[in-house]
Chain A
Amino acid sequence: MTASPVVPSPFLRLRQWWTRPSAHPAKVAQFDRPLAPWLFVAPQLLIVAIFFYWPSVQAVTSSFYLEDPFGFGAAFVGLDNYREALSSTEYRNIAGFTALFAATVTALSLGLGLLLAVKADAVMRGAGAYKTALISVYAIAPPVVGLIGMMMFDMHIGPFTKAAALFGWEMRVGIDYRDTAVALITVAVWKQIPYNFIFFLSGLQAVPSSVREAALIDARSGWRRFRDVTLPLLAPTGFFLLVINITYALFDTFGIIDVMVKDKPANNPITLVYKVYLDGFKGNDIGGSSAQSVILMVVVAALTVAQFRLIERRVHYG
């Protein structure tokens, strides 16, 4: 008997693992000494503690203090740092841009990744070459992507700037707020497409060929087949990528933004994460920066919970 088609979803496995641990009685290792299992997990725990819990606690603590820029002392100020951040117009503007940036980057990179995956999936001849070409971008480090982006959008030699000029659009990336935003989004999307492409492609290839053939007999329109059969079967992959992409847009674009905006004059768009860095490490306002990062953490946590609650319910896992 064949199993019903399963589109691989890392979340599903995770979920099964934690909601029904007894359903799959996994191998149970028996240790003679009670200390042994702790020793085995110790390295991992240590890493998590040092690089995640400790900084988190530090961030939360220092968000309640106003620190001397030179580190000579700190005064407890309660929620002042939060109040200041949330009431600042600049902070709100950046939060607004961050939301727009995250939404646009996620939507575009998911959409284009899916489009390319669907098209690459249909290619029979030379499929390997296409896939390699599309995936290879993923191997480029974010700062390098930022550099390439800067060259592409350079005011003097950038091909994109020249192309825009053909349509009468004088792009001034690094000077004009909107132009810089367009460049940032373009480069961030370009960097993320390969990741989505890989996942969507493997998701597509997990759709059984007989199901596609049944659809071929049932529906003449390719769009209907895609909308009613392929897309729902890709939903678990899509949901996984949605979470990953939002996180990417919020956090992992730091390197790109840093390279493209750093040392540029004028008022350029940045995201919240970059502002945390600017205030904390350039402005030496550790307290304010910590408060911002705590706010960001809460927002992302809330967003992820909301996604799981609202969207995952509609996702069909094979």
Chain B
Amino acid sequence: MAEILLEHVGKTYPGGTQAVSDVSLSVADGEFIVLVGPSGCGKSTLLRMVAGLEDISAGTVTIGGRVVNRLEPAERDIAMVFQNYALYPHMTVRENMSWGLKNRRIPKDEIAARVEEAARMLELHPYLDRKPRALSGGQRQRVAMGRAIVRQPAAFLFDEPLSNLDAKLRVTMRGEILKLQKRLGTTALYVTHDQLEAMTLADRLVVLNGGQIEQVGRPLEVYHRPASTFVAAFIGAPAMNLLDARIEAGHLRLAGVDLGRVEGEARAVTLGIRAEDLQLLQSGGLPFRIDVIEELGAGRVVHGFVEDQPLCVSLPSGAELPAQLHLGVAPEALHLFDAITGKRLPQSVHRSAKVRA
């Protein structure tokens, strides 16, 4: 149990590629932090620097009050779960879990007790004397978790641990990981590219882009107040609609339609609207031309255009839709971003006196 502190951490590869730059983050004891971002955003590199599998080029990493920059991975008091499990193929499940403990000169009966406990928690008893080869993907992943648990480390590091599992198993294992982490109260750093996994697991999300932190916050906070167009587009499915709009004379206008009152000078802005915040209107509102409809069973996602700008709308399933729809949106559900930097603008949109929505 420990907090993890990253201070101005950076990673430069030989040849000058900057994988991570100036990342500062403070993880509280027992917190579940998810590092999320597209591939190549530096999230795995960051995790591997905490683990000690990559050298730290700049800044310091502190685990439990100890600067670990120069410590070997085995000395950092962390346990890691890898994407492809990384089990020792020639050892039985029991040996896989106990080997790391043996190397730490933990007494035999203590090792046996910890393995027993982990096996009970993860329901691995029937497999203790099998080799990894004889296990399914989900079972292997459980063994990998068991190997991490028995170590009783200061922190768990997860590197996309569910990516190799099929969709159904992924949901089950996600729940198990979360339950386990809450029960053990161990600090966890979890890397994933899957925003759904990130939303459901995290106490706090860290969205990374191009080796830098875009936003840190609780999942719903990030969802409801994305700090940039990048976060807006990355978190949430379907992705948030980003449209070119204008502030004109104190009003926000999209496709000639007044969407509400807003402060500020006349300028171009990027307008973010979540697909589920749009509603069907009988008339007026935004004119919407349907292109493709994705039927999801519980609902449908309708893709189309407002003028020439693509937009998608989440609607309940139901009757056939006409080719032309009228859409309305509550002003408080609108997100404004700088058209050039993509950063969130401080203004919020208010209902116009004569708004037609």
Contacts and interface: CB of A to CB of B under 8 A. Distances in A.
B89 A220 contact: no
A159 B83 CA distance: 54
B90 A232 contact: yes
B127 interface: no
Interface in A300-318: 316, 318
B133 A218 contact: no
A89 interface: no
B137 interface: yes
Contacts of A216: 52-53, 72-74
17 contacts: A4-B132, A4-B133, A208-B84, A208-B86, A210-B85, A210-B86, A211-B87, A211-B88, A214-B87, A216-B73, A219-B100, A220-B74, A220-B75, A232-B90, A233-B89, A316-B89, A316-B90
A218 B82 contact: no
B78 interface: yes
B103 A221 contact: yes
Given A214-B80, A218-B103, A229 B88 contact: yes
B164 interface: yes
Contacts of A221: 103
B74 A219 contact: yes
Nearest to A125: B14
Which of under 10, 10 to 19, 20 to 34, or 35 or more describes the interface residues of A? 20 to 34
A318 B131 CA distance: 10
Interface string B84-100: 11111110000000011
B79 interface: yes
B357 interface: no
Nearest to B74: A220
Given A219-B99, A229-B88, A214 B82 contact: yes
A233 B75 CA distance: 25
6 closest A-B pairs by beta carbon, nearest first, are A218-B100, A210-B86, A220-B74, A214-B86, A316-B90, A219-B103
Contacts of B83: 210
A313 to B, nearest CB: 14
Contacts of A211: 86-89
A128 interface: no
B90 A224 contact: no
A213 interface: yes
A130 B185 CA distance: 49
Given A2-B84, A210-B82, A218 B90 contact: no
Nearest to A233: B90
Contacts of B51: 213, 217
B86 A218 contact: no
Interface in A210-253: 210-211, 213-221, 224, 228-229, 232-233, 235
A232 B80 CA distance: 22
Contacts of A4: 87, 89, 132-133
Contact of B88 (A215, A220, A224, A235): A215
Contacts of B80: 213-214, 217
Contact of A217 (B73, B87, B89, B137): B73
Contacts of A55: none
A224 B137 contact: no
Interface in A1-53: 1-2, 4-5
Nearest to B71: A220
Nearest to B153: A217
Nearest to B135: A4
A196 B72 CA distance: 31
Given A1-B137, A1-B164, A218-B103, A213 B89 contact: no
Contacts of A316: 89-90, 131
SS class of chain A's interface: helix, strand, loop or mixed?
helix
Given A4-B87, A210-B83, A316-B90, 6 more contacts: A208-B86, A214-B82, A214-B88, A214-B147, A216-B73, A233-B89
Interface string A167-185: 0000000000000000000
Among A5, A217, A221, find the residue whose CB has the most chain B CB atoms closer than 10 A: A217
Contact of B79 (A217, A228, A232): A217
Nearest to A219: B103
Contacts of A208: 84, 86
Nearest to B132: A4
Contacts of A218: 74, 99-100, 103, 147
Interface string B40-53: 00000000000111
B193 to A, nearest CB: 17
Interface string B119-132: 00000000000011
Interface in A106-133: none
B74 A217 contact: yes
A305 B53 CA distance: 44
Contacts of A224: 103
Contacts of B85: 2, 210
Contacts of A219: 74, 99-100, 103
Contacts of A2: 84-85, 164
Interface in A134-157: none
Interface string B259-301: 0000000000000000000000000000000000000000000
Nearest to A211: B86
Contacts of A215: 88
A95 to B, nearest CB: 37
A213 B86 contact: yes
Contacts of B99: 218-219, 228
B161 to A, nearest CB: 12
Interface string B142-160: 0000010000000000000
Contacts of B133: 4, 318
A232 B82 CA distance: 21
Nearest to B164: A1
A27 to B, nearest CB: 27
Which of B88, B90, B164 gathers the greatest number of chain A CB atoms within 10 Å? B90
A264 to B, nearest CB: 48
A219 B131 CA distance: 20
A216 B53 CA distance: 8
A181 B73 CA distance: 47
